[in-house]
Structure 1
């Protein structure tokens, strides 16, 4: 049964890969990349034949409506296929400034045995690394002045006293 399913999926993928994007006689069309997305994957939509610079693409297959932007009648945007959706064809409705373009996407079954979740399925250990386990090392500690502090203070006071004496002596010599 598994090989029949694999053969069927491969045939669908081959047909979809070599089939051109849906293009109507009036120049309007919709293309999707990848051409046959799997559940839970991101996709890019392109639409031609819209006169506006923005459009909205809606489908039951999408997690949220896609906002399309562009110019010159060609618009593009991105969306994500629902991870819980069943394989099969789904309608896409693109609403432009003055027209509505219809298209279809075909969602396929994931080939890896299941689609990767769109977001983490469980809380993520965000780390904290060393600090998370050694918070006490990061807390401020009050330290009393020691001998080193006293010596440094005395040396600085001595340097300041010598600077004051030298300055006064230079002023007194300049005044004479």
Structure 2
């Protein structure tokens, strides 16, 4: 009896592992999930593009999707508008100077509508005080001329102070 259960469970796991995720493909453009709900996130994949970047646009998207990749396969993500009617929407991908057209079916099911922002809009409670701000702050290439001059002046002052102190100690006036 346990051998039968083991066989059935193994068969079910293999079937789940080999079953592809739902997606819609049209003109080399793949959308996953195939019928996202309004407010849901989608992944886009375009094959056969000569460049390393492309842009996918649709009236169904909150914002155009920037696609990046190599070897002719580009991927990217975007979100479906929350106030969108169920239906079929066109997707235009600008790839290597040409346009590719695809269709996207927005369904009532699929991904759940998001409950918050996709990215933080305020400092994240990451601990460490200001480190959360420093992690997201734009960083420059390195110290500038003013920092270099200030560092050299401070190093010179420190060298003079050490020299004066050692002269005083050698005289015994300390």
| TM-score using structure 2 length | 0.51
Could you tell me which residue of structure 2 aligns to residue 36 of structure 1? 35
Distance 2:116 2:104 in 1: 20
TM-score, normalised by the number of residues in structure 1: 0.50
**8 Å contact kept, 1:62–1:79:** yes
Question: How far apart are the structure 2 equivalents of 1:43 and 1:31?
Answer: 10
Structure 1 residues 4-50: Cα deviation after superposition (integer angstroms, max 9, x where no partner) = xxxxxxxxxxxx94x86224xxxxx1111111111101110001121
Cα separation, 1, equivalents of 2:115 and 2:77: 18
Cα deviation for residue 99 of structure 1 reads: 1.6
Unaligned runs of 5+ in 2: 1-20, 126-174
Q: Which residue of 2 aligns with 1:88?
A: 87
Q: Relative to 1, partners in 2 of residues 1:48 and 1:84: Cα closer, same or farther, differing over 3 Å?
A: same
The structure 1 segments of at least 4 consecutive aligned residues displaced by more than 6 Å after TM superposition are none
Q: Following superposition of structure 1 onto structure 2, how do residues 48-59 of structure 1 map, counting pairs within 5 Å?
A: 48-59=47-58
Look up the match of 2:97: 98
Stretches of structure 1 that go unaligned for 5 or more consecutive residues are: 1-15, 24-28, 128-176
Partner of 1:155: none
Alignment of 1:123-134 (within 5 A): none
Number of positions where the alignment pairs a residue of Structure 1 with one of Structure 2: 101
CA distance in 2 between counterparts of 1:88 and 1:20 reads 14
Using the alignment, how far apart are the partners of 2:110 and 2:91 within structure 1? 24
